[in-house]
Amino acid sequence: MSEQLVAVLDWIAILCLLFGAALCLLAGIGLIRFPDLLARMHTAAKPQVLGLLLVLVGIGIRMIPVETSVFNIGTLFLVGLFQVVTIPVAGHIAARVAYRTGRIRSDLLVKDELAERLRASGRNPSQENPQR
């Protein structure tokens, strides 16, 4: 592989890594900045996914010129795949528990069709008092 191509690949990889890291940092800022749990879930789970994928792509590009036998692009692909498949499960459980125990600020919700539905079926989330 020519020197120039390696240099170009290096630069692309560096950009991917930096951008991915920046997205993770922004996710951290959003975590402090947003008011309630449901809004925080958006930053805790999301820009991180894109950030992580970019970091993985960066590592993958860096590894093209290098010959390794243990750690390869397949491993990176698996990391990405399982991250993408498992993050929504954790996020959903956290959001659901927070909603059901009333630990969200409903004054920030413009429209809440789930509350309407729960009220219609006789289960009001605000009546299930949040026990600390």
Partner 1 sequence: MKVPERPSRLRAARNRLGKVQFSVAVGMTLVWMLLFNGFQLRPESLGLLVLGFLVAVVIMLLFPMPPIDPGFRFRPIALVRMVAYILAKMVVASFSVIRQIFTSGEVHSSVMAVKLRTQSDLMLVCTAIASSIIPGTVIVEVGRDEWILYVHVLGADDEESIEQSRLDILELERQIVLALGTGKDVAALAGPAPTGEESP
Among 14, 18, 33, 127, binds partner 1 (CB under 8 A): 33
Instruction: For 69, list phi and psi in degrees, rounded to 5.
Output: -110, -25
- Is 58:17 a contact under the CB 8 Å cutoff? yes
Q: Is residue 9 a contact residue for partner 1 (CB under 8 A)? A: no
- Determine if residue 102 is left, alpha or beta; phi over 0 gives left, psi from -120 to 50 gives alpha, anything else beta: left
Rounded distance between C-alpha atoms, residue 56 and residue 84, angstroms: 13
- Is 126:65 a contact under the CB 8 Å cutoff? no
Which range binds partner 1 by CB under 8 A, 6-14, 36-44, 58-66? 36-44
- Is 31:44 a contact under the CB 8 Å cutoff? yes
Site string for partner 1, 59-98 (x = CB under 8 A): ----------xx-x-xx-xx-----xx-xx--xx--xx--
Site string for partner 1, 95-114 (x = CB under 8 A): xx--x--------xxxxxxx
Which stretches of the chain bind partner 1, using CB under 8 A?
Answer: 23, 26, 29-30, 33-35, 38-39, 41-43, 45-47, 49-50, 69-70, 72, 74-75, 77-78, 84-85, 87-88, 91-92, 95-96, 99, 108-115, 117, 120
